[in-house]
Chain A
Amino acid sequence: MELVLALGIGVLTAAGVWLLLRPRTFQVIIGLSLLGYAVNLFIFAMGRLRSGSPPVLRGEGHVDPAAYADPVPQALVLTAIVISFALTALFLVVLLTSRGITGSDHIDGREPGE
């Protein structure tokens, strides 16, 4: 499980970094999204992988912490998911605006060689 997820995170990161280094703004946005998934999963994985034990308390009285998954990374990632949506939206709009102003969707705002 750990190995598969680690490889998965690695592939997402690699794809994201590759796209970040591309010249077109849309590629960068897609890259940021992929990198966002990778980072969220990475932080989430810091709480270790456990199946079937969501941090939703059952029963009354004493709580056995060993019976539940770590809630802290989950809380961190939850807001991060929403924020990364906001980030994607902002970049998209900046992209559109910059293309409107410069007429180019190159990240430098001008076509190479111009």
Chain B
Amino acid sequence: MPHMVLLLIPFGAPFVAALMAIFLPSRARNAAAGLAWSASLAGVICLIALFPAVAGGEPVRWSVPWLPTLGVNFTLRLDGLAWLFAFMVQGIGALVVLYARYYMSADDPVPRFFAFLLAFMGAMTGMVMAGDLIQLAAFWELTSLFSFLLIGYWHHSAAARDGARMALTVTAAGGLCLLAGVVVLGRIVGSFDLDVVLASGDVIKNSPWYLTALILILAGALTKSAQFPFHFWLPRAMAAPTPVSAYLHSATMVKAGVFLLIRLWPVLAGTDAWYVIVSTAGMATLLFGAWSAVFQNDLKGLLAYSTISHLGLITLLLGLGSPLAAVAAIFHTVNHATFKASLFMAAGVIDHETGTRDMRKLSGLRQAMPVTAALAIVAAAAMAGVPLLNGFLSKEMFLAEAIAHTGGRHLNLALPVLATVASLLSVLYSVRFIHQTFFGPPPVDLPKEPHEPPRWMRFPIEVLVGLCILVGVLPAITIGPVLAVAVRSVLGEDVPYYSLALWHGFNLPLLMSAIALIGGVAAYKLLGPRINRSHRPWLVGRFNGARAYDRVMRAFKGGAEWIVRRLGASRQQARLRAVILTCMLAAVLASGLAGLGFSEVGMTIQRPGLGFTLLWIIGASCALGAAWQAKYHRLAAVVLVGGAGLVSCLTFVWFSAPDLATTQMLVEIVTTVLLLLGLRWLPKRLPDLASPQQEAKARRRRLADMAIAVAAGAGVALIAFAVMTRPADSPLARYFLDHAYSEGGGRNVVNVLLVDFRAFDTLGEITVLGIVGLTIWALLRRFRPAADSLGDTVQKQDQDDSDDRHKDRSVGDTLPETMLIPRVVMRWLFPFIVLLAVHLFLRGHDLPGGGFAAGVTLSIAFILQYMASGARWVEERLEIRPLVWIGGGLLIAALSGVASWLFGYPLLTSWFRYVDLPLIGKTPLASAVVFDAGVALLVVGATVLMLVAIAHQSLRKSRPVAPIAAKVAAKEETF
């Protein structure tokens, strides 16, 4: 198989499987597990097949442009280090999937769990295989996101939700720093490509921006790898299901930070800043984590703090900056993943089979679950660094490095001492873990009767523990080759001599190991019972990162609330007034700074004609009248607004905008219909009867509002006048006029702009229109009118009363007879309006018209039928499917844009040609017509949906309500 496929499978298969898992029924535990298992197994096989190529020394690469204008590519790049991490991700992933199949309860929505887990696996693989820094940062954030979803998987538990939120806040904030850091790094180097960056170590270290990049990148790495003082999120993340803890929070995701440090080690390490920050953080974390782990009573809590401590150890090694320390760091990363994942799984088994993880309750489980006990003891021994196990080897390397760094630098003499202390603590908590859980008297009062787990639930632990022993006994032939390739990919030609032999003779590291082992056991003998009784770690118990985090979050919330209290108002009117005044202030400031923009080279003013002046006298009167009447005479206000709309429509005609005039005219019609439909549901308003004090207050407010309104109007008029009188010269206008015909194939430049040059914009706008239509539809589906609007309208009551009075008529006879002649006319108008719509649509590209106008026209044709004959009559005869029209229109518009990709052009490029058709003659054909058809269809759908949704409300049954006069009388009595 070509390398490209082999590279794509480990990265892509988890994502594909995750998508598939989403669609499984929520009880399909086996199917989901099988899917996840196959995806990870396929990844493992592909990675094994790729190993010979990677071992050759050159990274295997596959690349496609992603954001070419920014120089960002999507690159899968597999070198030794990436291979090692990808293999851990996929291999341990496969084991965790098997384990999770038995761990997860059948009552949980397990496919969702596996979908998240798989997506995480894909994101993590994408991160370690990233050949581009931006891509790396993107997948880095994805791992944080899926970690959030997995921690919060049991979202009914508050601890899970809080833990998830905290983990996301800390790691995603770190991820944003990382993104900023790699952008700086990319700027220093001039490329985001990893190979280029790795070859530019000297440029980076000598750059004045080095420290900025370093601190930002370290902020990402240290938060992700839970380094002090950002460690606190990891123990809280233990609210996740145990397979997640084993996989994300010990073996893989928390190693992402370490991975990044190793990845960029060749170009960032070796400076004083690196040494001080990284090794200090590592040392602090190593000691703090180990010390805190000793005092945990929850199995998973102990393992979490132990993970923090081991991550600190790896960070410390990387901080030392010597090649040999880097080798030890890589080696320990692998070892820690194997023994810690198996320990988490063992803790999960204990929790699963006994119902508790509290070490004070557990005891003597050796009898009930001997195999699990044996496995856990071996894994814990590896964690403690007992010889013949893998943990011993890397710890020896660590101790040797600690001794090697005593000369020359500060921290120095303390280094071997502190390393020994940390190892001693590690032995202490490992012994405590094992002794409390498996030894001692048989347990009493457990929630469940303990017994061995199912065969295949234990299998992953057996594999991992087997690996611990295998690597521990035969390091050179098991881990040796893989480690060599990984180390070479990081250190290049500078690979130091290192030996994976088990026996290095009697030397200082061995002595330190012995002190740690004996001291740890002795300390447990001496202090064990007292540790069990303590509620929090001695000395450092008061320091609590989580509490500090909570305090910061509370401060944020409090600050936001303070701002709302200070700047907010409880009344909408006051708020709107503040908004309008702010806008006006901004406009005044802007024009004060830049001047109003009155032309310096001489204004061009056209003398106002009498007709136009009269027109605007009418327009202004309509606007003022609408403002006057909107409270008590809504119908008059609607009519007057329509008048103002017509005046603005005529203004468009006057000044060479036929398209706008057409559209405005048509929209005016539907807006009026809409407002008229709404009037029916509004309360009848009679002049308020207010006390004199209230009246005076209201008058003061009106006066103030009047002043604001006049100032706003005057300001806008002034600005409009200033701009209009400047000489016109717009390069944009020239460009579009020049190119509309030659490139867009249309003579109506406005339409060509909409469907061709700015088609993407139009696509966005019709999407908004569709969303608004759907929102209205959704709001009205559960519409409950106000109680006093439920009754019949006055008109209907009059009709019914009249029917009642006449002997030869029965109630409801008048309704079908009203508007008889207009109704016939309106029915007959239907085909002609449809024809007009088609006409407007077809001529749109060359003459005024187009999709918007056609769509609105067509919707008028429909709504006219509703008005003439009622909703039932229309819907019996016409297929009114606005939802389908909206969806179809959007789909057509989008597909017509996507189609240009097939021909290798950017989205929404239009194609046109003149074709000689028989009989019709030379006809322009432009692919933009298809787009315009989509626009028209969507506009019809949205407009009809809005109007019909409101119109349908009149079909509801009316209920008798108290006459309005009685209410007014009741109101009068109160004063």
Residues of B within 8 A of A95 (CB): 678
Contact A65 B733 (CB under 8 A): yes
- The answer for the CA separation of A101 and B789 in the assembled complex, in Å, is 12
Contact A11 B852 (CB under 8 A): no
User: Which A residues, 4 to 48, have Cβ-Cβ distances below 8 Å to chain B?
Assistant: 4-24, 26-27, 29-31, 33-34, 37-38, 40-42, 44-48
Contact B648 A14 (CB under 8 A): no
User: Which B residues, 863 to 917, have Cβ-Cβ distances below 8 Å to chain A?
Assistant: none
Nearest chain A CB to B490's CB is how many angstroms away? 55
Nearest chain A CB to B627's CB is how many angstroms away? 4
- The answer for the CA separation of A57 and B733 in the assembled complex, in Å, is 13
Contact B644 A12 (CB under 8 A): yes
Contact A70 B728 (CB under 8 A): yes
Residues of B within 8 A of A30 (CB): 626-627, 630, 637-638, 641
Nearest chain B CB to A55's CB is how many angstroms away? 4
Residues of B within 8 A of A84 (CB): 667
Counted as pairs of residues, one from A and one from B, with CB atoms less than 8 Å apart, the total is 323
Nearest chain A CB to B842's CB is how many angstroms away? 15
Nearest chain B CB to A84's CB is how many angstroms away? 8
- The answer for the CA separation of A51 and B656 in the assembled complex, in Å, is 5
Is B69 part of the binding interface, using a Cβ–Cβ cutoff of 8 Å?
Answer: no
Contact A86 B769 (CB under 8 A): yes
Is B708 part of the binding interface, using a Cβ–Cβ cutoff of 8 Å?
Answer: yes
- The answer for the CA separation of A41 and B623 in the assembled complex, in Å, is 14
Is B670 part of the binding interface, using a Cβ–Cβ cutoff of 8 Å?
Answer: yes
- The answer for the CA separation of A1 and B724 in the assembled complex, in Å, is 10
User: Which A residues, 76 to 114, have Cβ-Cβ distances below 8 Å to chain B?
Assistant: 77-79, 81-90, 92-97, 99-101, 103, 105, 107-108, 113
Check A11/B730 contact, CB under 8 A, given A56-B848, A75-B758.
no
Residues of B within 8 A of A27 (CB): 630-631
Nearest chain A CB to B184's CB is how many angstroms away? 38
- The answer for the CA separation of A81 and B718 in the assembled complex, in Å, is 23
- The answer for the CA separation of A85 and B730 in the assembled complex, in Å, is 29
Contact A57 B741 (CB under 8 A): yes
Contact B656 A48 (CB under 8 A): no
B568-597 contact mask (Cβ, 8 Å, vs A): 1 or 0? 000111001100100000000000000000
Contact A70 B733 (CB under 8 A): yes
Nearest chain B CB to A49's CB is how many angstroms away? 5
Contact B769 A6 (CB under 8 A): no
Contact B769 A108 (CB under 8 A): no
Nearest chain B CB to A102's CB is how many angstroms away? 8
Check A26/B630 contact, CB under 8 A, given A13-B713, A56-B748.
yes
Contact A15 B738 (CB under 8 A): no
Nearest chain B CB to A3's CB is how many angstroms away? 6
- The answer for the CA separation of A99 and B786 in the assembled complex, in Å, is 6
Residues of B within 8 A of A24 (CB): 630-631, 685
Binds A, one of B222-230, B265-273, B658-666, B791-799: B658-666
Residues of A within 8 A of B740 (CB): 57, 63, 71
How would you classify the secondary structure of chain B's contact residues: helix, strand, loop or mixed? helix
Is B323 part of the binding interface, using a Cβ–Cβ cutoff of 8 Å?
Answer: no
Residues of B within 8 A of A63 (CB): 737-738, 740-741
Please classify how large the interface on chain B is, using the bins under 10, 10 to 19, 20 to 34, 35 or more.
Answer: 35 or more
Interface residue from B624, B631, B725 paired with A15 (Cβ < 8 Å): B624
Residues of A within 8 A of B728 (CB): 47-48, 70
Nearest chain B CB to A96's CB is how many angstroms away? 5
Binds A, one of B39-47, B352-360, B600-608: B600-608
Contact B573 A14 (CB under 8 A): no
User: Which B residues, 740 to 784, have Cβ-Cβ distances below 8 Å to chain A?
Assistant: 740-741, 747-750, 753-754, 758, 761-762, 765, 768-769, 772-773, 775-776, 779-780, 783-784
Contact A14 B709 (CB under 8 A): yes
Check A11/B786 contact, CB under 8 A, given A17-B708, A24-B631, A71-B753.
no
Contact A20 B576 (CB under 8 A): yes
Interface residue from A16, A41, A96 paired with B785 (Cβ < 8 Å): A96
Residues of A within 8 A of B856 (CB): 82
User: Closest chain B residue to A67 by CB distance?
Assistant: B737
Contact B616 A45 (CB under 8 A): no
Is B950 part of the binding interface, using a Cβ–Cβ cutoff of 8 Å?
Answer: yes
Check A49/B724 contact, CB under 8 A, given A21-B573, A100-B785, A105-B683.
yes
Residues of A within 8 A of B671 (CB): 33, 85, 88
Contact B753 A75 (CB under 8 A): yes
Nearest chain A CB to B922's CB is how many angstroms away? 12
- The answer for the CA separation of A105 and B660 in the assembled complex, in Å, is 34
A8-B647, A18-B705, A34-B641 given. 10 additional CB < 8 A pairs? A11-B620, A20-B576, A20-B580, A50-B655, A57-B747, A63-B737, A72-B732, A78-B852, A81-B664, A86-B942
11 A–B pairs (Cβ distance < 8 Å), ordered by A: A4-B612, A10-B714, A19-B626, A45-B720, A45-B723, A54-B658, A56-B749, A56-B848, A65-B734, A82-B769, A82-B856
Chain B residues close to A by CB (< 8 Å): 571-573, 576-577, 580, 605-609, 612-613, 616, 619-620, 623-624, 626-627, 630-631, 634, 637-638, 641, 644-645, 647-648, 651-652, 654-660, 663-664, 667, 670-671, 674-675, 678, 681-683, 685, 694, 705-706, 708-710, 712-714, 716-721, 723-726, 728, 730, 732-734, 736-738, 740-741, 747-750, 753-754, 758, 761-762, 765, 768-769, 772-773, 775-776, 779-780, 783-787, 789, 846-848, 852, 856, 939, 942-943, 946, 949-950
Instruction: Please provide the 7 A-B residue pairs with the shortest distance between their CB atoms, ordered closest to farther.
Output: A10-B717, A14-B713, A18-B709, A6-B721, A69-B656, A75-B753, A71-B749
